[in-house]
Structure 1
Amino acid sequence: METESVEYVKQTMEYSRKRAIRTKLVNFVINKIWKVPIFYSESRAEGISSVQSDTDFMFEADGIFTLSNEGQIGLKSDTSVVYVVMDTHEVHSGYTRIQIMEGDWNDLSEFASSGDGLRSLCKTFGNHNSKYLSNILVKQFWETRMKSVIPRQGLKNEISSHGPSTVIRYAADKDVVEVDTLICLRGEWPEVAKEWLERKRNFNWPTKELIEEIKAIGCNLVPIGHRLSHGKELELEWRISFSKAECLLIWSLNGTQTACIECMRLFFQVFISPKFPDLFSSYFIKTAMFWLIEETDSTFWQPLNILACLDRLLSKLITCVEEKCIQNFFIPKNNMLDAKAVESKELLDVLRIELTRHDVTGEEKWRMLIKEKLLQMDKNDIYYYHILINSLSVSRHFIYNSIRSSNIKDSKDMLMQGIQELKCCNDKDMFSDVCKQLQHELEAILSIVTFCESQSDSGTDRILSPNDTKWVEETLNKYTELSHSTGKLLLCTFYFYIERYQEALAITEDVQTRYTSQVVHYTFWNRSKTPRDDHYPQITPRPTLNETLKNYIALDVVLLPCLSRLFRATIQEKLYSRDALFIHPLFYAFFVRFHCFYRMQNAAECEAVLNKMQTFVAENMDVLKTTQDFNILHLGDSCHQLLKKHTESGNYFKKTIKSLLQKGEF
């Protein structure tokens, strides 16, 4: 078991480190390239895996900042920001009201577009009729605003509310991923958390340097009141969130500490949560672990000692449940179990008995969970690089959703800025290989955008010379060596546009031939399957990320509005209505292949390709019900209409579209 414990801690730390870097990269792309004030938070962002990890995006409202007291306002000189003030008087610990100051000030905040702006989102409260920000009105604002901010794909009814969050149902290949999005305000370090900065610590965790870094990033205010509050008090309360601080604390942990949190969450998900759903949050486990680390000598947290570490954490959790008290790590006066102590007192007593029963069984439960977790950790290259590939897939989605304009000049500027940001990103603590891959892809697309710009300037009827296309072709050929099919299909699109149909057909043939059962399709968040070791050769030394991408990873083909002149009329219509299009690479190869044969007036081959398109859709129908690729049904139908001939394949597309629309599935 000693060997297994050490291996488990090692693997957990390795993947936790990668996940933390993914968070930094995704946040970098969102803020610097997409230019939206959103940060990725909760379990996935922190780098700790579990059976059902949370995925949250927090949108920091622009142009508004929360101060800890009114006296700070006179010290601020930035006129582009609206300053509001925390009011924690007679509010549950860990919560605050947000007071809007009287006077003549310009509303340049995120909320300026809402009616009368920030003032229209307020309610009066107290003896002096002071104005406070309503969490209900702000959430309503966000539900409308979010639709123009967050890129969406998936089902027709894809947005719902859950607590302070607005939930988006995102497409995956086999299921639907629910992502919580919520609006929040930025704030300085609150006075009610001053004790955390000054707390006496015997074991130097967190370090003084980390404490100062956390103080500097401040807090966020989330639009949700305490569960025991009522009426207007509930509407005007905001929760003080330390999500950014918690990320930094998690990233400072060693492998044993990280593995403890992951294993305890797994223990609860397997043994406890099925019996006590929604009673004990994984956030409570993390909080208890923070307290335990702060109270314990660092020499205790060693890989060989992980079973004892888990026992101690479980004992602390049992004490918390018994006392019906889990103190917030930053604001100890905030007992995060107080509402449940009122609403679910008897259940907490039963939970304590259940936890104690597991506690006396000894270390065997930990051994079983660790063995099971190790069995899930495959050694193949795709599994090893999954977090990097996922970072690439997610980053591509956000980058291309930022290039929404059909204006070529605007798109060029965005692409060049993105390339420059990614060059700088190489010097930071992020995946340099992923950044280079993104950079090369943007450079390839920039070459085509520049080509389209030259065609627009010269007129659409000008005959192209070899010199007109040579430099674009050279750039695109370099990119084809960096991915399985995406780069090739970009070159294929270019060949189709300049009427080099045989070369375009050769690429589509190559993509279809190389699209074997070993290929994994990544689309935004998820992948088409989990790669298992018995499906892939074990090569030593391990291939690079680029070699793995080239051999096994198929990313979505992205069609941008600024490149609409390259595509068929049906795609142009979709681009105008949906911004960017993300298309499965294998289907796109069929689509281009059909149009090449159509231009060559080969009806028999067109019909053969249409049959393959139908087979692809039929085999993936369950997948299509959860992805944005409803578009491919329309693209298939458009090909059928071009043939001007009734075929079984063509009728299939039309009937499928009609059936899904009648069922309301899209």
Structure 2
Amino acid sequence: MYQVPDYNQTVSMKLSEVLADIGVDERIVMKTRRSWLLIESITNITYQLRDGNCLTYFFGSQSEGTTTKGMQSDLDQLYCNKALPMIQDWSDWIPGLYNLLMIQDNSVSPGYCLLQVLRPDAPLPFDGESDQFLFKDRTGKLFLKNYIVHVTLLNIKREIHGPAGVLQRHPGYFDNDFVLALHCTTWPQQARQWLDQQGEGQWPSAEMKQYCSRTGCFVVGVGCSGSEHEQLEWRISTSLAERCLMFNLNITQIRCYVLMKIILKTFINPLFKDVISSFMCKTVLFHCISNTHSNIWRENNLLSCLSLCLYLLYNNIINENCPHFIIPGNNLMRGKISPAVKPYILEILSNIINSEGVALLGIKCDDLGSRLHLKFNNLCTIKTSDIISGTLLFNLAKHIYMTLKEINYHLKDSSPNEAVEILKNYVSKTINGQYEGLDKTASNLIAPIYCTTLGSVLASLNIYHYNTVSADALKLISLGLNTDVASSKLKLASILYCVQEIQKADSVLSEIERRYDLQIVEPVCSCHDFEKKTPRQGFFKLCDIHNEEILQYTTASCVIFLQCEIHCVPNELRYEMFRSTQEDRMFRTEEDNKWMDCAVVDSLPYLYFLQYKVYSHLGRHDQKQAALFKLIRTIKEEPNLGHRETALNILGKCMEQEGRAGDAFQCYSMSLNIRGRNNAAKIHIATLLSVLINARR
């Protein structure tokens, strides 16, 4: 049996403990994958509800659970348009659509293909002329240029990096690598030999390969560097198959990959950026697993496994050849390593390999080196699992409520009656859809939001026509009351206030305040990116021991009223639906357009604002003043409000009601300092000044 030397075993176990402390253990890896797969399902269900021809996938380190907080890995999002079917065989041609035939012959670089355009009415080559996006060769065949992807990425304001558009976020958010792709349902010809190969490690198994073969492939818009067809070539991607391989690794293999990436980030990237990629490290790992016996991949042998991978990477650099694991003809290192940098990278890797783990003590990323030193001295290190869990579930909550923005964008040109029919369709599909597994969980997370929104739109119509709310509307609203701590209940309270059911509104608001634990509940805003402060410790702790079911007790989304819900909104808040002048609209982004024509307010300030209005009606002066004080305190002290300017606007209206015009003006001015454009504060200031001027006449 394979024997592990004492030194190797000791270092391996200490290193495994350190990696577990920074979140690389089975529980956090599985939690990470579940969270991102749910986000993927939510996104795709939302697309499907609109009968969209697209799917999105989250690939890479974030969704695999193969990153750490210190690595600050990008989010890799692949957006697939199904409107143009890709085929590899003429018999797969689909009538009525422009099919794209993948050409994978000797004229194309390994791992790449050309896309020939076919006619929609017959399985024949399309007859046309060259233009910005099409190239006609000497035989008359038309090929799609990969330039079309670059134009699309520029149109959505992404900085182009290879096949990806990069969207840089504010601090605390992932940078987003956004890749546009086309999907082929059949396995690529260049990878068919891989299905029959088997290495010493008997990995991947026959079952895994069978699954991989059913995932088909993508093509992305980038050609092989230096190829004579570089503008026409499309790179073949087997990302779904690679995800399957990653999801079947054991924890030691995952830790080995994480360590390789940390080494890359620490020792190589600062000097030689973009020469060795994390995908090369992943490929090296796959080859090592495939060609070694499975019993070496154990926790107490992690150091040897790491050395094995680094040694193979070293040899690949010497030969300047890192064969793609699934399409071996594709050399990932082609043209990447210049003669000038090659000896320096080899020296760095050689020193790390020969150090027998000592080099790891110099790693500052995630304090890995200092943590390892403490472990050798039998001292405890701080675990970060609660922070990782909280970040994951907070991100999931943002994506759940992001569906409201998508609803608004889809309904913005619809009448209230049309909106009702569209929302009924959404509710029916999410509740009665034939979903399974995580897709079922995802539909259960967003269906209540659609129910509440539909109920609120119906209530708005009821109030407009009859100044009351129907039982059907209230029943629909009730189906979504427990999506989070406050937002849906606040909609109900707002509706009750608008129909003068003041006592009932008071009861609902009291229940919300009772459930809103200020030490635990975290505000969630998915409208725009802003720099968030660290969430509450109570939020982190609960998220660490629960999955998505805890969100209904620990989060409070901002309250979003669509324009077709206007009669459910108090007059003071309706101004938010008309925040933009024609000039302001020129300064709005596409994401802004998804919410800026709505009335949007954070839950906690809206709770206190509604209490102030309700207590005013009930003549409870002391409670009214207490609610006003809480509103002021929340605006000053709550660090993670997404719509602080709106909270200041409604505070200003309260100040006007109190007869404190100067304080109201100050609130509106502070609001404008936060958001200078697309802000209803301008309307409030103009109205206030008009009242003051007229009062002096």
Q: Normalised by the size of structure 1, how large is the TM-score?
A: 0.78
- Contact kept, 8 Å, 2:181 with 2:218, in 1: the verdict is yes
* Secondary structure of 2:175's aligned partner: strand
Distance 1:270 1:426 in 2: 47
What are the Cα deviations for residues 584-607 of structure 1, in whole angstroms up to 9, with x where unaligned? 322333454565578789999999
What are the Cα deviations for residues 576-627 of structure 1, in whole angstroms up to 9, with x where unaligned? 9746666432233345456557878999999997887676556679x77xx6
Is residue 389 of structure 2 the alignment partner of residue 393 of structure 1? no
- Contact kept, 8 Å, 2:32 with 2:392, in 1: the verdict is yes
Larger radius of gyration: 2
Alignment match, 2:3: none
- Contact kept, 8 Å, 2:41 with 2:438, in 1: the verdict is no
Is residue 587 of structure 2 the alignment partner of residue 586 of structure 1? no
Q: Identify which of 163, 171, 184 aligns with 2:181.
A: 184
Is residue 495 of structure 2 the alignment partner of residue 494 of structure 1? yes
Distance 1:117 1:493 in 2: 59
* Secondary structure of 1:353's aligned partner: helix
- Contact kept, 8 Å, 2:253 with 2:297, in 1: the verdict is yes
**Match for 2:79: what amino acid?**
F
Distance 1:86 1:632 in 2: 58
Alignment match, 1:250: 246
Distance 1:105 1:427 in 2: 35
Seen in structure 2, the aligned counterparts of structure 1 residues 121 and 85 have a Cα distance that, compared at 3 Å, is farther
Seen in structure 2, the aligned counterparts of structure 1 residues 425 and 284 have a Cα distance that, compared at 3 Å, is farther
Give 1:427-576 correspondences, 5 Å limit: 428-430=436-438, 436-453=444-461, 455=462, 460-464=464-468, 468=469, 476=477, 479-481=480-482, 483-501=484-502, 503-504=504-505, 514=516, 516-524=518-526, 528=532, 530=534, 546=549, 548-567=550-569, 568=571, 569-573=574-578
- Contact kept, 8 Å, 1:288 with 1:313, in 2: the verdict is yes
- Contact kept, 8 Å, 1:520 with 1:529, in 2: the verdict is no
Alignment match, 2:691: none
Distance 1:215 1:537 in 2: 41
Distance 2:652 2:128 in 1: 46
Is residue 154 of structure 2 the alignment partner of residue 136 of structure 1? no
Alignment match, 2:323: 327
Seen in structure 2, the aligned counterparts of structure 1 residues 289 and 407 have a Cα distance that, compared at 3 Å, is farther
Shift of 1:64: 1.0
Q: Which has the higher contact order (CA 8 A, sep 6+)?
A: 1
Distance 2:649 2:117 in 1: 50
Q: Identify which of 302, 312, 326 aligns with 1:316.
A: 312
**Match for 1:299: what amino acid?**
N
Alignment match, 2:298: 302
Alignment match, 2:665: 650
What are the Cα deviations for residues 260-312 of structure 1, in whole angstroms up to 9, with x where unaligned? 21232233223433333333221111111111111111222122222222222
Seen in structure 2, the aligned counterparts of structure 1 residues 478 and 418 have a Cα distance that, compared at 3 Å, is closer
Seen in structure 2, the aligned counterparts of structure 1 residues 128 and 269 have a Cα distance that, compared at 3 Å, is same
**Match for 2:466: what amino acid?**
R
Distance 1:55 1:413 in 2: 36
Distance 2:599 2:67 in 1: 31
Seen in structure 2, the aligned counterparts of structure 1 residues 421 and 305 have a Cα distance that, compared at 3 Å, is farther
What are the Cα deviations for residues 604-654 of structure 1, in whole angstroms up to 9, with x where unaligned? 999997887676556679x77xx6776666666777788896424533433
Alignment match, 1:76: 93
Alignment match, 2:62: 44
Is residue 110 of structure 2 the alignment partner of residue 124 of structure 1? no
**Match for 2:176: what amino acid?**
V
Shift of 1:422: 4.9
Seen in structure 2, the aligned counterparts of structure 1 residues 438 and 332 have a Cα distance that, compared at 3 Å, is same
What are the Cα deviations for residues 212-235 of structure 1, in whole angstroms up to 9, with x where unaligned? 2222222111112233347xx432
**Match for 1:356: what amino acid?**
S
Q: Identify which of 253, 257, 282 aligns with 1:261.
A: 257
Alignment match, 2:352: 358
**Match for 1:183: what amino acid?**
L
Distance 2:283 2:203 in 1: 14
Shift of 1:460: 2.3
Seen in structure 2, the aligned counterparts of structure 1 residues 122 and 87 have a Cα distance that, compared at 3 Å, is farther
Aligned-residue CA RMSD (Å):
4.5
Shift of 1:463: 4.4
**Match for 2:81: what amino acid?**
A
Shift of 1:250: 0.9
- Contact kept, 8 Å, 1:522 with 1:528, in 2: the verdict is no
- Contact kept, 8 Å, 2:31 with 2:389, in 1: the verdict is no
Alignment match, 2:192: 194
Shift of 1:555: 2.7
* Secondary structure of 1:234's aligned partner: coil
Distance 2:340 2:102 in 1: 39
- Contact kept, 8 Å, 1:32 with 1:421, in 2: the verdict is no
- Contact kept, 8 Å, 2:635 with 2:644, in 1: the verdict is no
Identical aligned residues as a percent: 19
**Match for 1:647: what amino acid?**
G
What runs of 5+ residues in structure 1 fail to find an aligned partner?
110-115, 147-157
**Match for 1:483: what amino acid?**
D
Distance 1:388 1:224 in 2: 34
- Contact kept, 8 Å, 1:85 with 1:100, in 2: the verdict is no
Is residue 272 of structure 2 the alignment partner of residue 272 of structure 1? no
Q: Normalised by the size of structure 2, how large is the TM-score?
A: 0.75
**Match for 1:653: what amino acid?**
Y
Is residue 116 of structure 2 the alignment partner of residue 94 of structure 1? no
- Contact kept, 8 Å, 1:203 with 1:295, in 2: the verdict is yes
- Contact kept, 8 Å, 1:65 with 1:81, in 2: the verdict is yes
Distance 2:621 2:129 in 1: 61
Shift of 1:248: 1.5
Q: State the number of aligned residues.
A: 623
- Contact kept, 8 Å, 1:25 with 1:430, in 2: the verdict is yes
Is residue 66 of structure 2 the alignment partner of residue 67 of structure 1? no
- Contact kept, 8 Å, 2:182 with 2:218, in 1: the verdict is yes
What are the Cα deviations for residues 461-497 of structure 1, in whole angstroms up to 9, with x where unaligned? 5243xxx556655665675455322233232222222
**Match for 1:352: what amino acid?**
L
Give 1:107-186 correspondences, 5 Å limit: 121-144=132-155, 159-169=158-168, 175-186=172-183
- Contact kept, 8 Å, 2:104 with 2:189, in 1: the verdict is no
* Secondary structure of 2:180's aligned partner: strand
Seen in structure 2, the aligned counterparts of structure 1 residues 117 and 60 have a Cα distance that, compared at 3 Å, is farther
Distance 1:73 1:537 in 2: 56
Alignment match, 2:586: none
* Secondary structure of 1:337's aligned partner: coil
Seen in structure 2, the aligned counterparts of structure 1 residues 535 and 565 have a Cα distance that, compared at 3 Å, is closer
* Secondary structure of 1:516's aligned partner: coil
**Match for 2:518: what amino acid?**
T
Distance 2:403 2:303 in 1: 41
- Contact kept, 8 Å, 1:385 with 1:545, in 2: the verdict is no
**Match for 2:565: what amino acid?**
L
Distance 1:577 1:483 in 2: 20
Q: Which moved more, 1:578-587 or 1:54-63?
A: 578-587
What are the Cα deviations for residues 543-585 of structure 1, in whole angstroms up to 9, with x where unaligned? 7864x43543333333334423312432333699746666432
Distance 1:396 1:106 in 2: 44
Distance 2:258 2:169 in 1: 25
- Contact kept, 8 Å, 1:508 with 1:593, in 2: the verdict is yes
What are the Cα deviations for residues 374-432 of structure 1, in whole angstroms up to 9, with x where unaligned? 9564465x864653453343133136514531444554455455555555789733287
- Contact kept, 8 Å, 2:99 with 2:120, in 1: the verdict is no
* Secondary structure of 1:186's aligned partner: strand
